[in-house]
Amino acid sequence: MEVNRAAAAAEDRAKHYLKTKARPLEKAMYEYEFEGGHAEDVVRALEPYQNEDGGFGHGLEPDIRCEASSAIATTVALQTLSLLPREAGGEMTRKALRYFTQTYDPAIAGWDKVPPEVESSPRAPWWNFEKANPYWGNPNAEVAGYFIQFREWPEAEGWADKLTELAIGKLYSESSLDEFHELLCYLRLSERLTDEQRARIADRLDTMIGRCVTVDPSQWSGYGLHPVQVATTRQSPYYERYKDSIPANLEFIVQGQTEEGAWEPAWAWGQYEDVWPIAKEAWKGVLTLGNLRLLRDLR
């Protein structure tokens, strides 16, 4: 009972924060998901981040500040657009798919995470341009998922099946099965696969989850995935696996909320100290919306 009361209070503080201090995008998405707001407001809030090439940049992913489009920022946009009615976000989504079809690099069977322009912009130290990507699934497996979700649109024609088979093959032939960002991308793909396709990768995902998720509360302040980041709802196929850890995990999250109602990033750039505070503020809205969803769906 005490945990539920604390969680309810945390939800109230988070809602107030999102409505008063978050970026317009997170504020609009909160209002759409929790208060019956308009999907069109979310699309309008996304517009400043989309470039003429259809991709997204301009700091949408707060650790990547360059204006130029990136595959990473475009998947971040599609994470939001995939939750909206197609009549609201359809044109924006189609432009994003077009961006992917026009920037696909056969030499790497996918997309560069970030463009060369990132090197001349403020950024986190892990966002540098490099062709080599030892974790192909991030972001390529996730991109495949969006082509599946929107496969009936002309922009997606011929891409969904090609990318899906590529992603399944890469999971078996190249993945080290121990990098949690790649896992999250494969989980987003898995949500959009057929039952037969999902069965083909189930064992690999189970191994990956076992290596990436920690159920030890003493490790939750470190670098790794929490149970609630994999079992995000009670309907998740991984809920039963982690249901004994979820109450303590939610309590840990509630305890990490700041007095102003937000959650702060557990990392810092250690460079571009004049820009990092701007990115940090953006992350607070992103993380707060994410944790509010978890409290709604798992409590």
Interatomic CA distance for residues 219 and 248, integer angstroms? 13
> Would you state the pLDDT for residue 110?
97
Residues contacting 56, CB < 8 A, separation 6+: 46, 49, 50, 69, 70, 73, 74, 76, 77, 96
DSSP assigned state of 203: H
Q: Which of 235, 225, 239, 243 is nearest to 185 (CA)?
A: 225
Mean pLDDT of the chain: 97
> Would you state the pLDDT for residue 3?
61
The number of folded domains in the chain is 1
Domain that includes residue 290, residue range? 2-298
Block means of pLDDT (10 residues each) for the chain, 299 residues, are 79 98 99 98 99 99 99 99 96 98 97 97 96 92 98 95 98 97 99 98 98 96 93 98 97 97 97 99 99 96
> Would you state the pLDDT for residue 131?
84
Domain containing 263 — which CATH number?
1.50.10
Contact 26, 283 (CB under 8 A): no
1-50 pLDDT tens trace: 466 888 999 999 999 999 999 999 999 999 999 999 999 999 999 999 99
91-118 pLDDT tens trace: 999 999 999 999 999 999 999 999 999 9
Interatomic CA distance for residues 296 and 299, integer angstroms? 6
> Would you state the pLDDT for residue 174?
96
